[in-house]
A and B are shown apart, each in its own frame.
Chain A
Amino acid sequence: MSDLRQHAEDIHDQFSDHLDVTVDDVEERLTTLVDEYKVPIDEGRRSVTNHYLEEAGLEREDIASGGSEAVSVEDIDEEEQWVDITAKVIELWDPRSDSVAQVGLLGDPTGTIKFTKWAKSDLPALDEGGVYELRNVVTDEYQGRYSVKLNSTTVVEELEDDIEVGDDTSEIEGALVDMQSGSGLIKRCPKEDCTRVLQNGRCNEHGEVEGEFDLRIKGVVDDGIDAHEVIFDAEATESLTGISLEEGKEMAMDALDTTVVADEIREKIIGTYYRIEGPTFGRYVLADDVEELDGPVDAEQLLIKARSM
């Protein structure tokens, strides 16, 4: 098949729902521009697309620009691509801005990716745990991390089948150099499906509630090249520090203060080297597997290298 024929088919696909037009018609228009008038193919394609847009009374945003392609989450590695993905909503986060209707994390068998749904897109709400086919979303990049944006041209279709979500597993090795606020003994909102961490006894969504205790660490593991933010859940925190959720509660009760737990944890972990494995959620790595690096280190290879430089 000639290149022109292929381009003609791509354009035809975008309009077949809107216009009674054949691939031959499209190809003829393209051939005239490209072969006779020596217009570069990109420009020719653009021009033919515009012609049909006008004929159909559509806006450019109404059609998939260049035809969106079904991709896996792990294949998203370029910004401003129009793609289709089938993914499960793993987590919904609080939108930080009124222009955002929903923000959260999507996952498919190959990994996870952040999504943003604009308020003005006027799309149905996505539910946590729901599986959706999302057609015509656009990719974006910020500081090396990719996301997808749902816009007014996106088609959302809920699917019945559940899908398995694969881990974007990271392995990091380094020193724990900081413990962030919100670590130690915390309280979470008890409302169903809301696990937000309370600030001064208040949930962002549900106001003043009787919180439930949880134990976690938000730490920074740094190898001198990159600083990674790592979350240790109650189980990981216990294996790291020997402090269980129950013991944490007792410590806080004895001291009449929850901050004693964070203080004790900090003392045990800061300055210690760890190897951590776990899935990546946005900017955080969730510590599934933690190993303290306290064995001897081999200096000889490095010494040979340094001497020979």
Chain B
Amino acid sequence: MSQAELTREVARRVFASEFNDSTYTFKESDDERAPNYALLPTGDRANRAFIVGTLTETEDVGDESEYWRGRVVDPTGTFFVYAGQYQPEAAAVLRDTEPPAYVAIVGKPRTYETEDGSVNVSVRPESISIVDDAIRNRWVVETAERTVERIEAFEEWEAEQEAPESGSTAPGNEYAQMAREQYDSPVENYRRDVIQALESLEDLETPA
């Protein structure tokens, strides 16, 4: 068994708005079987993600064989989930589930270029499960927390770049650096999305 197979890739927690902006992908080595990563704009790499949201629409968009597309909505945007013959279990869930329903998805980020040259990011699911609102709300808080942690690390790194003589001990952050080089969108956008997501939960808990 190779070392790569021994290390399981973590499922990142990322909101739809940030996931869909993660258009830059890369590998860490030249090995053909090296894992593919999407670069998160808040400065981390993601080979896998854990997503919970509301499945609002499903459609078979395949020609010859079934190819299911699901729209999964979180407080910041919509994930596009595609499952075909190579993801038979996930495809079956999309076929059989009557929207709306809360779903938990473990999957890999995939990018494709559209005709107008822009890059879309979608989810290729490894599993889709029907869950309840408690799991969905826990995911929103957890994802907000992980996103805040990434933003904090990014800002520490940024401060270090601006004042290198201060001798700060902030750790290196190669993915923050990569994100700065590859993306235009400021991390402040994702902080606003975090606040919006958490506020949406507060609204639920204190009905007017």
Contacts and interface: CB of A to CB of B under 8 A. Distances in A.
B12 A303 contact: no
A285 to B, nearest CB: 13
Given A227-B9, A309-B148, A178 B106 contact: yes
B198 A220 contact: no
A178 B12 contact: no
Contacts of B205: 296
Contacts of B8: 220, 227, 229
A297 interface: yes
B141 interface: yes
Contact of A270 (B129, B146, B202): B129
Given A177-B50, A299-B198, A300-B202, A271 B138 contact: no
A273 interface: yes
B148 A305 contact: yes
Interface residues of B, number: 43
B126 A178 contact: yes
B195 A307 contact: yes
Given A177-B106, A303-B198, A309-B152, A297 B138 contact: yes
Is chain B's interface secondary structure helix, strand, loop, or mixed overall?
helix
B7 interface: yes
Given A175-B50, A299-B198, A224 B11 contact: yes
B72 interface: no
Contacts of B198: 299, 302-303, 306
B191 A299 contact: no
A5 B183 CA distance: 63
A294 B134 contact: yes
A272 interface: yes
A309 B131 contact: no
From B12, B103, B155, B194, residue with most partner A Cβ within 10 Å = B194
A293 interface: yes
Given A175-B50, A300-B202, A306-B194, A226 B10 contact: yes
Given A177-B11, A307-B195, A293 B138 contact: yes
A181 to B, nearest CB: 13
B199 to A, nearest CB: 7
A20 to B, nearest CB: 50
B135 A271 contact: yes
Interface in A260-309: 266-267, 270-273, 283, 293-300, 302-303, 305-307, 309
B11 A297 contact: no
Contact of B129 (A222, A267, A303): A267
A271 B127 contact: yes
Contacts of A294: 132, 134-135
Contacts of A125: none
A178 B191 contact: no
Nearest to A304: B198
Closest 7 pairs between A and B when the two form their complex, measured CB to CB: A271-B104, A271-B129, A224-B13, A303-B198, A227-B8, A297-B141, A177-B106
23 contacts: A143-B7, A175-B139, A177-B11, A177-B106, A220-B8, A224-B50, A224-B143, A227-B8, A227-B11, A267-B129, A270-B106, A270-B129, A271-B103, A271-B131, A293-B138, A294-B135, A296-B134, A296-B137, A297-B141, A299-B201, A306-B194, A306-B198, A309-B148
Given A175-B104, A294-B132, A309-B191, 19 more contacts: A143-B7, A177-B50, A177-B127, A222-B10, A222-B11, A222-B50, A224-B142, A270-B106, A270-B127, A271-B104, A271-B135, A294-B134, A296-B137, A296-B205, A302-B141, A302-B148, A303-B202, A306-B144, A306-B198
Interface of B: 6-13, 50, 52, 103-106, 126-127, 129, 131-132, 134-135, 137-146, 148, 151-152, 155, 191, 194-195, 198-199, 201-202, 205
